[in-house]
């Protein structure tokens, strides 16, 4: 069973190029979770249970070593873990 989106609320005002949303979903273990997500769309695809990529990339750099920081995290947009 996939995660089920409960709500998606825009944070702040609608912007021209990138919007932030608070996404509330029920995960596979039936627990309610909240995420802040970015989307170029007025309504993110994940809001309509479309768990395909919406392609916003934020790259974290370590300030002392000038190297990229990679994390393995759950991402609602693909309903699974990703290296980010």
Confidence check: pLDDT of 46 > 70 = yes
Q: How far apart are CA 71 and CA 81, in angstroms?
A: 10
What is the arithmetic mean of pLDDT over 18-46?
A: 84
Q: Which residues share a beta bridge with 81?
A: 74
Q: Note if the pTM is more than 0.85.
A: no
pLDDT given for residue 64 in this prediction: 94
Residue range(s) defining the domain that contains residue 26? 4-83
- Percent pLDDT > 70 in the chain is 85
Looking up tokens 């249970």 gives 49
Higher pLDDT, 22 or 42: 22
What is the arithmetic mean of pLDDT over 44-56?
A: 69
What is the arithmetic mean of pLDDT over 11-21?
A: 83
């Amino acid at each position: 069973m996939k995660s089920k989106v409960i709500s998606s609320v825009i944070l702040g005002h609608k912007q021209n190029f990138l919007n932030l949303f608070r996404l509330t979903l029920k995960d596979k273990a039936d627990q309610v979770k909240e995420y802040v997500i970015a989307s170029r769309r007025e309504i993110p695809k994940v809001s309509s249970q479309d768990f395909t990529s919406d392609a916003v990339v934020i790259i974290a750099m370590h300030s002392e070593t000038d190297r990229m920081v990679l994390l393995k995290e759950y991402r609602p947009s693909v309903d699974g873990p990703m290296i980010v």
